[in-house]
Structure 1
Amino acid sequence: MAYGIQIVVDSRDPHAQAEWWAETLGWAVEPSNEDFIRRMISEGYATEDETMVYRGVLMWASAQAIAPEDELGRKDRRRILFQVVPEGKSVKNRVHWDVRLDGDDKDVVRAKLEARGATFLWEAAEGPHSWYTMADPEGNEFCIS
């Protein structure tokens, strides 16, 4: 039996990270279900302290997810969840992801990412394949190739 998987990323600001990665990957931020949140509060499953208003929308304060836009609402969607943690990143990631550019110019993409808050870390190559290792606005490493 094959299992589904969700990638979870610890974040200081999961909503900003979700927006940044959604734009980077061409994905969408999952919409908030304000009625569901209000119902969970009224039924005692959550408190207002666990929510926040972000860009005028009531949402959970602790996390925000992204998915490919055409998969939103599907139970089997690919998904990255950014969840809040109290501590900042302090060591190198043990896991990172590679963003495949599908023919887009690596230098152009690098410049766009840097303009949006990414940091270039180093360039590497293996045989004819080369990539840039970058860090997102919270310092999480990823590669573009």
Structure 2
Amino acid sequence: MAHTFQVTVDCSDPHPLADWWAQALGWQREPSDEAFIERMVAAGHARASDTLRHRGELVWADGAALVHPDGGMPRLLFQRVPEPKTGKNRVHLDVRVGAEAVEAEVARLVAAGARELHRASQGPHSWVTLADPEGNELCIS
């Protein structure tokens, strides 16, 4: 049986974090359907306080999504949650850039706000574990 899925990341501020990940992955923010949002507010199905303007675009305040430029990968959704991150992620993304590009990619992401957590290897494979600006882990290999 075939299934589709998205990966959801809990966070405190979804729009800036989605921007960070879009830059990190080279993905695109999913366009907002401003007319739909306006209709939902006008009909009383949502409140104006459920929305905000991010980079000039009317968006839902509690979520932001990214899509792969080719549309062939799972969608990434960043959703606001009230509690801060308190422990290690049980699920994280492994971003494969190739052994020759790891150091440059780690440097680029750290310059953009990531934090290096540790380096590890197993057999011929090695990776660098980073934390995004809100502390969510990702591995670069």
TM-score normalised by structure 1 residue count? 0.92
The aligned residue for residue 47 of structure 2 is 47
The aligned residue for residue 59 of structure 2 is 59
The aligned residue for residue 119 of structure 1 is 115
AA of the residue aligned to 1:52: L
RMSD: 1.3
CA distance in structure 1 between the aligned counterparts of 2:73 and 2:105, rounded to whole angstroms: 26
The aligned residue for residue 81 of structure 1 is 77
- Measure how far apart 1:103 and its partner are: 5.1
CA distance in structure 2 between the aligned counterparts of 1:96 and 1:64, rounded to whole angstroms: 18
Give unmatched runs, 5+ long, in structure 1.
Answer: none
Deviates more, 1:97-106 or 1:48-57: 97-106
The aligned residue for residue 27 of structure 2 is 27
C-alpha distance 131-32 of structure 1, shift in aligned 2 (>3 A): same
Counterpart of 1:109 in 2: which secondary structure?
Answer: helix
CA distance in structure 2 between the aligned counterparts of 1:27 and 1:5, rounded to whole angstroms: 17
Counterpart of 1:86 in 2: which secondary structure?
Answer: coil
Deviates more, 1:135-144 or 1:77-86: 77-86
CA distance in structure 2 between the aligned counterparts of 1:121 and 1:81, rounded to whole angstroms: 24
TM-score normalised by structure 2 residue count? 0.95
Please tell me whether residue 92 in structure 1 is matched to residue 85 in structure 2. Answer: no
Please tell me whether residue 138 in structure 1 is matched to residue 134 in structure 2. Answer: yes
AA of the residue aligned to 2:50: E
- Measure how far apart 1:24 and its partner are: 0.8
AA of the residue aligned to 1:21: W
- Measure how far apart 1:77 and its partner are: 5.5
Give unmatched runs, 5+ long, in structure 2.
Answer: none
Deviations along 1:97-118, one digit per CA (max 9) or x if unpaired, are: 1001045521111111000000
CA distance in structure 1 between the aligned counterparts of 2:105 and 2:61, rounded to whole angstroms: 31
AA of the residue aligned to 1:113: L
Number of paired residues? Answer: 141
Counterpart of 1:69 in 2: which secondary structure?
Answer: coil
CA distance in structure 2 between the aligned counterparts of 1:8 and 1:132, rounded to whole angstroms: 22
CA distance in structure 1 between the aligned counterparts of 2:139 and 2:60, rounded to whole angstroms: 30
